[in-house]
Amino acid sequence: MRKLVFILLTIYLVWPFQSIAAAKWCTGKIISSYIGSDGIVYILGNWKNDWTAVCNLNSTWKGVEQATCKG
């Protein structure tokens, strides 16, 4: 019985973190893009009616290296 309670408790505590780590994918086309004066690259995708920042040409931004951005 203690094993069952331990297993259920472990599943209950770990389950929410699995959804946080899920990969995010968008499908569609990039309609437009521009580079802000601060070096941030923005895209406008047809899946989202708003600009999305994706990287920075001048420095690491949210874990994305500038070399990746210059790609």
Cα angle vertex 56, ends 54, 31, to 5°?
Answer: 40
3-state SS of 6-52 is HHHHHHHHHHHHHHHCCCCCCCCCEEEEEECCCCEEEEEECCCCCEE
Confidence label for 52 from pLDDT (cuts 50, 70 and 90): very high
Look at the block and give the residue holding tokens 């929410």: 16
pLDDT level of residue 26 (50, 70, 90 thresholds): confident
Task: Answer left, alpha or beta for residue 27, where phi above 0 means left and psi between -120 and 50 means alpha.
Answer: beta
Residue 2's pLDDT band, with cuts at 50, 70 and 90, is confident
